[in-house]
Amino acid sequence: MIPVEKTATRRVPPAEICAQAYAEYLRDAKALATTTVINYVPFIRDFLHHCFGDGRVNLSRLRAVDVVSFVQFRAPSLHLKRAKLMTTALRSFLRYARYRGDVTLDLAAAVPVVANWSMPSIPRAISAEQTRQLLASIDRRTSVGRRDYAILLLLARLGLRAGEVAFLELDDINWGAGQVSVRGKGGQRSELPLPAAVGEAIAAYLRHGRPHSASRRVFLRAKAPITGFRGQSGVGSLVRNSLQRAGIDAPTMGAHQFRHGLATQMLSRGASLSEIGEVLGHHHPQTTKIYTSVNIKALRTLALPWPGGVR
């Protein structure tokens, strides 16, 4: 006798449908990491709205001027790294559109290049003393403390990226061999040795801190819903909150400073750039060369004597 309630069906904008199709292509055809898809798709959604609004998306109508005008409109409001990420995502999408046959022109070549200078600044690395102070401040008597301690050790001792820690799964740890399998950028897998202290911290969390869950992620949220972190931002928030509670004036509030700190310590102990690059999972030697600018002690040996001598 009760009439069926009519619910208004929300119309999905054509731009959103196109952006989601591109996201599926990145996941299924290109097998890109989830974080990469999350980073790329919002830029493409903005680009489609900029060009077509809420109307029908006709990619064949796109011209080079549309691409350039969008970059000129968005780039000034973005940080340099975000602007570079935007242009990378845009080139990827335009190659995808050409692959589908929606675009016949090579519009990816029309995407402007964001100015970028090689090694413009010294990496901001957390010091070894600050790392020890931070780890000592974690209350490992609680479940959350055991989780946070294990995560911070992975960042500090293995130099993992925040996303690599967030998406680490139980099957990635080989306890018998003492190794951890890490999925880095581009879906590349690398096997890293699992230091005893790091393994003990993870085991303590799994035994006495990790909530009961069907999730295969190693680290879970402490509050409902009890699932793994959605992305690297969850690990970044954990680092920021831990630094603030400990009252540590670190170079930054992000997780990447531990990666820089590990590289700096390895360099000071005599490790080669190739060894550092292998640990950090760098694919290009140029990426590792930035750490040569932080070894001030070694650089002093290259300094020429001051004319006239020292008085």
- What are the structural domain ranges in the chain? 14-110, 128-298
- Cβ atoms of 137 and 203 within 8 Å: the answer is no
Residue 256 annotated to the active site: yes
* Nearest CA among 203, 210, 228 for reference residue 34: 228
First to last CA, the chain: 102
Q: Are 130 and 248 in contact (CB under 8 A)?
A: yes
Residue 259 is a catalytic residue: yes
Asked whether 46 and 85 are in contact (CB, 8 A), the reply is: no
Catalytic residue among 45, 146, 183, 256: 256
Asked if the model's pLDDT at residue 121 lies above 60, the reply is no
CA distance 264 to 276: 9
Fold of the 14-110 domain: DNA polymerase; domain 1 (1.10.150)
Catalytic residue (one of 140, 157, 221, 259): 259
Mean pLDDT comparison of 91-95, 115-119, 159-163, 300-304, highest-scoring range:
91-95
- On the 0-12 / 13-18 / 19+ scale of CB atoms within 10 A, 97 is buried
Summarize the confidence of residues 33-45 as an average pLDDT.
Answer: 92
Name the phi and psi angles at 93, rounded to 5.
Answer: -65, -40
| The one catalytic residue among 161, 183, 221, 260 | 161
**258-281 average pLDDT score:** 74
Do residues 136 and 176 touch, judged by C-beta distance below 8 A?
no
Whether 291 is a known active-site residue: answer: yes
CATH of domain 128-298: 1.10.443.10
Same fold, 14-110 and 128-298: no
Q: Is the pTM of this model over 0.75?
A: no
Look at strands 179-183 and 173-174 and give their pairing: antiparallel
Name the catalytic one among 282, 289, 297, 311. 282
Task: Assess whether 161 carries a catalytic annotation.
Answer: yes
pLDDT tier at 291 (50, 70, 90 boundaries)? Answer: low
- Decide: 211 and 220 in contact? Cβ < 8 Å: yes
What span, in angstroms and rounded, lies between the C-alpha atoms of 272 and 258? 19
Query: Higher pLDDT residue, 228 or 80?
Result: 228
pLDDT at residue 227 greater than cutoff 80 = yes
**Calpha distance 185→283 (Å, rounded):** 9
